[in-house]
Amino acid sequence: MFDTLSDRLGGVFDRLRGRGALKEQDVRDAMREVRIALLEADVALPVVRRFIDSVTEAAVGHAVLRSVTPGQQVVKIVNDALVEMLGGEETPSLDLNAAPPVVIMMVGLQGSGKTTSTAKLAKLLKEKQGKKVLMASLDVNRPGAQEQLRVLGEQVSVSTLPIVEGQLPVDIATRALQSAKLQAIDVLLLDTAGRLHVDQGLMDEMKAVAAISKPRETLLVVDSLTGQDAVNVAQSFAGQVDLTGVILTRMDGDARGGAALSMRAVTGKPIKFAGIGEKMDAIEPFHPGRVASRILGMGDVVSIVEKAAAAIEQEDAERMAERMAKGQFDMNDLRQQLRQMQKMGGLGALAGMMPGMKKAKAAMQQSGMDDKVLLRMDAIIGSMTPKERTKPDLLNAKRKIRIANGSGVQVQDVNKLLKMHQEMERAMKQIKKMGGLKGLGALFG
């Protein structure tokens, strides 16, 4: 799947040259191609804009790690942004935390793969989670729809509600609930009727069924092959019922990928499963990371950059320890420390990490320091010249005003940072006097 997008992006990154930090012009050139590729992949325009903006911002000035090329570095940045757009690293799961029978209502247009996905999900819940499952088709519009679910039920060995001709959807749902209770069913899957287009009758019926069955999950099934249409459908459904997630079908045949990319951004709902074929086990939890690297077709590159980053972090830590032992601590060191803090989860994560850090954290918070402050301090250091960073003593009033303007803060914020640096520098000198890192323990605890 996603062949075109992956091919396009591949060509773009080869063109990036140069070392050191990623240059604005290079990034902009690359992003122009990424933009076209995404639009061709049928990603919604506002989503493309937002994506390009965030990636450009992340990439310009981003250091290119030793041992990787600028192209590889950009791939990693684009990859991370794609993962984010597809819903983040975490794989969403079904929420079944309610008194049984837990109801899952399946909604979607006709032909989206709703009935097939209902049976696939039933099989998954039964086999992977050991649930006792019952399925019921509420589709009284399409001839043979109820019979189709019965046949699929037989295939996956999951029971279906006996068909009673002429019953209305709400009545079928009521009967299904009663039957589920009697049989001590864990999960009841309701396959609602589809329509060819989104219409009010369909929405009203869905709402009525939801009102009596109180679904824990309402999953919208959409056909990823329909691209932007799928996104529009999702948007209309999301406006009418409380969707809890999306199932994207026909991901096995999707050459464009636009639907997956836009879906999360447009509906705000997680994609929970991907349908990847006609067979009853052709469904899998939606993995943003996996899908992103498939889109890029560059999973290897991503892991190379991750490994390089880990190696360099190790080097940085060693360099830092060496400088500390010599009592050296300039703005570059401070910045590195701030970034490390952010990476480790900001101030909130600090407390548990080192003895004595609880006190330090409390003091920082008392002086009004929060995670935004970390970013602001980083920006202030970013506005200094390289010379100022190594020799903070150079910072006179005039330079401070320039730096404050450059980073969008007040001069007093610059002063606060300098004071903090001075204190940390003094602490480093102290450590040196006490015999290097071995003396560090005395500072904490």
Q: Judged by CB under 6 A, does residue 153 bind ligand GDP?
A: no
Q: Judged by CB under 6 A, does residue 276 bind ligand GDP?
A: yes
| For ligand GDP, the closer CB: 117 or 293 | 117
- b/e per residue, 262-298, with b = 16+ CB within 10 A? bbbbbbebbbbbbbbeeebebbeebbbbbbbbbbbbb
Dihedral sign, Cα of residue 208, residue 213, residue 218, residue 220: negative
- Minimum distance from residue 9 beta carbon to ligand GDP (Å): 25
Instruction: Specify the amino acid at residue 59.
Output: A
| For ligand GDP, the closer CB: 104 or 305 | 104
- Minimum distance from residue 249 beta carbon to ligand GDP (Å): 4
Give which of 377, 370, 430, 342 is closest to 444, Cα–Cα.
430
Pattern of binders to ligand GDP over 333-372, x per CB under 6 A? ----------------------------------------
Q: What is the DSSP letter of 283?
A: E
| For ligand GDP, the closer CB: 71 or 194 | 194
- Residues in 115-134 that interact with ligand GDP by CB under 6 A: 115-116
195 is in an annotated binding site: yes
User: Is residue 173 exposed (0-12), middle (13-18) or buried (19+ Cβ within 10 Å)?
Assistant: buried
Q: What is the DSSP letter of 28?
A: H
Q: Judged by CB under 6 A, does residue 278 bind ligand GDP?
A: yes
Q: Compute the distance between CA of residue 65 and CA of residue 311 in angstroms, rounded to an integer.
A: 10
- Minimum distance from residue 159 beta carbon to ligand GDP (Å): 19
Q: Judged by CB under 6 A, does residue 277 bind ligand GDP?
A: yes
Q: Judged by CB under 6 A, does residue 141 bind ligand GDP?
A: no
Q: Judged by CB under 6 A, does residue 257 bind ligand GDP?
A: no
Phi then psi dihedrals of residue 108, to 5 deg: 155, 170
Q: Compute the distance between CA of residue 43 and CA of residue 85 in angstroms, rounded to an integer.
A: 11
| For ligand GDP, the closer CB: 148 or 332 | 148
Q: Judged by CB under 6 A, does residue 144 bind ligand GDP?
A: no
- Minimum distance from residue 146 beta carbon to ligand GDP (Å): 11
Q: Judged by CB under 6 A, does residue 110 bind ligand GDP?
A: yes
Dihedral sign, Cα of residue 242, residue 245, residue 251, residue 254: positive
Q: Judged by CB under 6 A, does residue 250 bind ligand GDP?
A: yes
Q: Are 433 and 326 in contact (CB under 8 A)?
A: no
Q: Compute the distance between CA of residue 162 and CA of residue 67 in angstroms, rounded to an integer.
A: 64
Q: What is the DSSP letter of 161?
A: P
| For ligand GDP, the closer CB: 291 or 418 | 291
Q: Judged by CB under 6 A, does residue 192 bind ligand GDP?
A: no
Q: Compute the distance between CA of residue 172 and CA of residue 12 in angstroms, rounded to an integer.
A: 55
69 is in an annotated binding site: no
- Minimum distance from residue 247 beta carbon to ligand GDP (Å): 9
Name the region of 308 (left: φ>0; alpha: ψ -120 to 50; beta: rest).
Answer: alpha
**Sheet strands (E) in 231-347:** 245-249, 271-275, 283-285
- Please identify the residue of the shown chain whose CB is closest to the bound ligand GDP: 275
Q: Judged by CB under 6 A, does residue 113 bind ligand GDP?
A: yes
Q: Are 125 and 133 in contact (CB under 8 A)?
A: yes
367 is in an annotated binding site: no
- Minimum distance from residue 143 beta carbon to ligand GDP (Å): 12
218 is in an annotated binding site: no
112 is in an annotated binding site: yes
193 is in an annotated binding site: yes
Q: Judged by CB under 6 A, does residue 272 bind ligand GDP?
A: no
Q: Judged by CB under 6 A, does residue 137 bind ligand GDP?
A: no
Residues 6+ apart with CB under 8 A from 13: 30, 71, 72, 74, 75, 298
| For ligand GDP, the closer CB: 59 or 104 | 104
| For ligand GDP, the closer CB: 215 or 275 | 275
Q: Which residues are annotated as a binding site?
A: 108-115, 191-195, 249-252
Interface residues toward ligand GDP, by CB under 6 A: 108, 110-116, 194, 249-250, 252-253, 275-278, 282
